[in-house]
Amino acid sequence: MKEMENNTDQRHFTRIEIDAPADLVTVGAEPQTLKGVCRDLSAGGMLLQTQQSLAPGTQLQVTLRSHYGNEPMLSCKAKVVRSYPAEEKVILGLEILEFLD
């Protein structure tokens, strides 16, 4: 129990859990389009679940949508800071670089 008490969260922003469809486009010479689900979101980053792994440092344009197909809820440029397998999916930790209109 003591060990957990000494463990401090280093995040600068509070994360909120969401379950929003995400469209991802890699930035580069040969852009890839991917689908995913945003599991949590903060002002500085997000956690996405996808079918494909991306290398840390990969830059993306991310668009989050509602389940009802309304206009995008959020559009941003982001970069992958971590990627790891989880069950039959891949979890991507992204840092938000810039919010887009």
Task: Give pLDDT tens digits for 72-84.
Answer: 789 999 999 999 9
User: pTM of the prediction?
Assistant: 0.82
Structural domains of the chain, ranges and CATH numbers in brackets? 16-99 (2.40.10.220)
For residue 93, give Cα distances in angstroms to 71, 78, 88.
24, 10, 17
Query: Distance (Å, rounded) from C-alpha 90 to C-alpha 101?
Result: 28
pLDDT tens per residue, range 24-42: 999 988 999 999 999 999 9
